[in-house]
Structure 1
Amino acid sequence: MSPNLQRRVRILLTFMGGQGAAQGLNLLCGLLILRWLPITEYSQYGLVYGFQMLVNAGLDLGFAGTIVALVGHRIHDKTIIGNYVRAGRRMRFKMMVFVLPTVSIFYYFMTKHLHWPVSTQVLLLLSICASVNVSGLQSYYTSPLIIHRRLTTYYRILILTALFRLVACFILFELGWITSVSAAWVNVVGIALTGVSLRAACRDLVEEPSKVNPKFTKQMVRYAMPNIPGLLFFALQGQISIFLIATFGSNKGIAQVSALGRIGQIFTLLNSINGVIVEPWFAKDDGSHVVKRYFTLVGMVLVGSAAFVGFTYLFPGVLLQLLGKKYADLRLEVVWIVLQGCIGFLMGMTWTVISARRLIFWQTTFVNIVLITLSQVGFIVFVGVTSPMRAIQMGCLSAAASLAAQVYNLFYGLKRGPRIDIEEHEHVREDSLPLTAVEAEVSD
């Protein structure tokens, strides 16, 4: 093999081994928690996880995801990367003031009819707030390692922290202390360990300025702004099945949807390919191979998806064995959740190409929102969301609508060209605004 091909194979093998091990440990831990917790306790744990995902998206607003594309070929300029990291973390800190109180009110009204103990409600809410406070480190210190292809270091950290979470939950189970609250706080500690470790691993790759450079902040905002409404919308969409069941259903329904979501975690490994392999591949392309590469990937995904859905339809018990006896009757639901995951993966891959090529426009964001909203409103009006099956079917329809919108967005963007040319920012001055004392302390 040529040296270039050898390098690509090595990256792919590192990704498959590292990501597979990290996600495998997380999946195993999640499945064990699913088996260890009673249905009511697991409904609490699943709902809290949904809130964590929603709040993280509301705090980040996609700024962490802009770093790879905006850095482009300037990967060896540590000050460039550092300015983006500092600017993004400062914006995340500011968003906490608005997002956390809003989510706390939303959480209260959603859970008050579920008859949870007050102490459980409070401790779970505090775990949500704590997790989103520490998750910013993981969000912003992942990009430098990915840019420099330090996948071994990156996955070593993920594997060790996943192993910590698994061992900690097992010890709690053996002591008889495993509950929704204790499991949620183990997650908080795991997220904090991951973030601190990633930051330490980036010390020689990132030089963060003592002050935030407003020019970098403006560039990140300008790049991400058209996609912010879509990110907030999709953050809610990702958890809407659980939220609808929590609002109109019962603890059992929440537990069933959350349990099926564990099956959906199989796609987490596949979705990681987008950020680690697909995005850098398309970001460095000179533009001449984008369409060919995209359709090659689409063909591969369609073949694999058809095989996976067919296997699940013929042998649903294989996947249901992972969930345990409490969820053995969800035979048809598991087929729909796999179909939803396959559609979602293809949609995510298409979005990754759009992001890597800097093809984000206001128009394309609202096309996505409109199509998904129409599909969901139509489903709720004509079918209704009264059971886990209906919630999952609505998720499939939403994923299909989003995929159609993203395909349109991609080819609209390719025809129009990138909205931001990174070359014009090659010599950005390092003018800056000082952090407040509180912001500096939090950032440091």
Structure 2
Amino acid sequence: MISWFSLHANRARLYRWITILGSFAAVQLLVQALNAAAGFLLVRTMEKPDYAWFTIANGMSAALSILSDSGVGIAVTSIGGTLWEDRASLKGLVHAALRLRLKLAAVSSAFIAGISLWLLLRSGAGLPSAFGLTALVLAPVWQVSTTAVFSIVNRLHSRNRQLQVADLVPAIIRASLTAALALLGGLSPVSALGAVVIAQLTQYGIVRRQVLALLGEGAPQDVEGYTARIWKMVHQYLPSIIFWCLQGQLTTWLISVFASTREVADFGALNRLGIIFVVFGGPLGQFFMPSFARTSDRRRLWKMAVLLVACTVAFNAVLLFFAWWQGRWFLWLLGFKYTHLQQELLLVLTGMAILNLSAIVWAMNNARAWIRRVWISIPVTLGSQVLAAPLFDLGSVKGVACFVIVSGAVQCCYAFTVCGLGLTCPERVHAG
């Protein structure tokens, strides 16, 4: 090791990687901090009915983004990894991806629009507000889709600085607009979602300018061929993506249907604390998972898996301990309207911790392609939810939180089962 450090080239290479990773992590933490600040400002400033409607609309926006992708991003990353240096081919791949995303966005928009209007009207939003919020959900769908595809091009070329700019500037704009609206007393569900849309359009403009210059002026190559290849992969991923997209919004939809706007706002506010898990999980996805995917030594693979699970469990345990010991610190972030949610806080964070652990284990499974029987997780999850639903009051935050804990525990157990088989008998779960 000492001899390795004695070489100037090795020291320079290490310094360069530390600088890259350090700057990337710092920017990502700043982006998450800005998003968290904007989110907590909304919780503290908006009245509960207003925040409930914003929660529903924001959830619809996230669902629309996932459904509009439906595996296109995975396909572009996979195919683009072999041709990213060929401008004409890469441009053809991008054109094919945008063509498919436009079709998926059109179908998804019709589906999301109906659900959005129904949930908003059911939660007490007036017809103008329901239509206005739904329109803001649908309006930037093409720009968001284009941003997602173009961002993959930046990642394929390892353009870290451009990726940082495209993440940081919209976060600053959204946080600034939210703060200005709060100071001027103009913060409403429509204006808050409008700030999100402006940030999305800003990101679209930045990424479009970055990538169009990279693709060049030449004609795209083999668009039809790449369309067929992308669609083939999308067809394989689509059922599970749709399922997990709906799962991601299930709790918001359940409490919107069975509870009042007060409970919807309470649950949405507590979910804002999920940013803590995002900050923890982000660096793992960027730096740890690629190394886990490349490792060929079985003993090192076991060590990495055990270390990652142990660190995740330790992080979750410490967080839950502080929530139990000093829950008022967390609730202070949400404002005085939510100080009564001490018990609910611990339950919601417990559900998030279980889902966070499940997500980390599934990320390991995906990194190693241990996904041959991943479809089994769908009936397993649905079965556990059908059995759990009658046991809890889905019209209360406590009931929905307990429902998430039970469902998440089942998902986590299955994720560990697949991971264990992958570590011991990879041929039984490997996609290939």
In the superposition, the TM-score normalised over structure 2's length comes to 0.88
Offset at 1:119? 1.0
1:258 paired residue number? 268
Give, in whole Å, the separation in 1 of the partners of 2:361 and 2:302. Answer: 11
Relative to structure 1, is the Cα distance of residues 259 and 297 closer, same or farther in structure 2, using a 3 angstrom cutoff?
same
CA deviations on 1:36-93 (whole Å, 9 max, x unpaired) are 2111111110110111111111111122134444444665444554444333222110
**Please, which of 135, 141, 144 is the counterpart of residue 126 of structure 1?**
135
- Give structure 2 stretches of 5+ with no counterpart: none
On the 8 A contact 2:323/2:330 being kept in 1, the answer is yes
Name the SS for the 2:393 alignment partner: coil
How many residues get paired? 418
1:96-149 C-alpha deviation (Å, 9 max, x unpaired): 232211222222332333332211111001011013332112322222333343
Q: Which residue in the other structure is 2:250 paired with?
A: 240
Secondary structure in structure 2 of the residue aligned to 1:329: coil
SS in 2 for 1:295: helix
Structure 1 residue 177: Cα displacement: 1.9
What corresponds to 2:182 in structure 1?
173
For residue 278 of structure 2, the aligned residue among 264, 268, 271 is: 268
Residues 95-106 of structure 1: matches in 2 within 5 Å? 95-106=104-115
Q: Which amino acid letter does the alignment assign opposite residue 406 of structure 1? A: A
Q: Which one of 86, 89, 106 corresponds to residue 95 of structure 2?
A: 86
State how far apart, in whole Å, the 2-side matches of 1:259 and 1:371 are.
29
Determine which of 25, 40, 44 is the counterpart of 1:31. Answer: 40
Equivalent residue for 1:107?
116
8 A Cα contact 1:81 1:206, kept in partner: yes
1:384-431: per-residue Cα shift (whole Å, max 9, x none)? 3120111122222222222222333445563247546xxxxxxxxxxx
User: Out of 327, 344, 351, which is 1:316 matched to?
Assistant: 327
Q: Look up the equivalent residue of 2:277 and give its one-letter code.
A: F
Deviates most, 207-216 or 32-41: 207-216
The residue aligned with 1:426 is none
Partner of 1:305: 316
* Mean CA deviation greater in 194-203 or 312-321: 194-203
Structure 1 residue 150: Cα displacement? 2.8
Instruction: Select which of 229, 233, 236 maps to 1:219.
Output: 229
Unaligned residue ranges in structure 1 (runs of 5+) = 421-444
Query: Mapping of 1:30-429 within 5 angstroms?
Result: 30-72=39-81, 76-79=85-88, 81-203=90-212, 205-206=214-215, 210=220, 213-285=223-295, 290-361=301-372, 363-364=373-374, 366-410=375-419, 414-416=426-428, 419=431
Deviations 1:143-189 (A, max 9, x none): 23333433333122222111111211222233332211011111111
Q: Considering fraction of residues, name the structure with more helix.
A: 2
Query: Deviation of residue 330 (structure 1)?
Result: 0.9
Between the two proteins, what is the percent identity of the paired residues? Answer: 21
* Mapped partners of 2:146, 2:280: distance in 1: 23
The one-letter code of the counterpart of 2:397 is P
Distance 1:25 1:281 in 2: 29
Q: Distance in 2 between matches of 1:295 and 1:145?
A: 32
Q: In 2 relative to 1, CA 374–7 (structure 1 residues): closer, same or farther, beyond 3 Å?
A: farther
CA separation of 1:240 and 1:100: change in aligned 2, threshold 3 A: same
Please, what TM-score do these two structures have when normalized by structure 1?
Answer: 0.85
What is the alpha-carbon distance in structure 2 between the residues aligned to residue 272 and residue 246 of structure 1?
29
Cα pair distance change 1:183/1:62, threshold 3 Å: same
Distance 1:15 1:419 in 2: 32
CA distance in 2, matches of 1:11, 1:375: 44
